[in-house]
Structure 1
């Protein structure tokens, strides 16, 4: 769907290229967009759960009763109370994006030195039979995952 929208003849891609000279597909911007798309659901769910929690809703109501507007309530009540959920969602989404291959390859391509990522480099190593390098890169990706897991566990214990 994203390729259809953002491609050269796409609903969004065509006007961008025609009027602004901007091409998104097979660029670093496309890699960033694919990481965003891959990680977004894992960011939204914990944040949505936090914003809908009964405790935050009660504090927001108290803030409004005391005369605070919605912007002040968000920045001084809601966001600080949801900070750990926001950080947790961010960790989950970044970790998910780091392991993404499909969307990244489709939108960003697999252009060495320009649009390849750690996960795509693992794919390339396996494709050319360089299993030792692939294993080393997998170890790096696994360490990233373990670090994210440890950080999430720490966030959970602080609650």
Structure 2
């Protein structure tokens, strides 16, 4: 082992179980941990996962999100952050919704979309630049799996293509 690395490791401070318990009791921590947007637990950050339907990729120009996903992973987080005005605009199915920023994780670009509720279906949609910036530029198609989560650190959605649909076989109809 490299001598410099070995020396550095010897210099690390290791906590006893009693010291760790004391920190937990006091509600503080001096441990350094790495995380993505505060996700220190190692959980999968992609809270909203969706296998795209044809309607998400066609002329309707919007991504449809289930009510439970939005309620559990967006509205709840916004409530905790005190974003009451945004919640009201989204829940008012008659209004324009709210403009949200969406960070494309793989491409390192940010776009603005509108999040709003569809009264007719009780679902939510992300609309606006969805068709051009995501479907066309990312070549999304039915069967692709995408992931989204709300970054509390950056106040925006983070978007990722998690899996591509299998390529059609040689005997698939055109």
TM-score tier by shorter-chain length is: under 0.3
Q: As a proportion of its length, which structure holds more helix? A: 1
What TM-score, normalized to structure 2?
A: 0.24
**TM-score in terms of structure 1 length:** 0.26
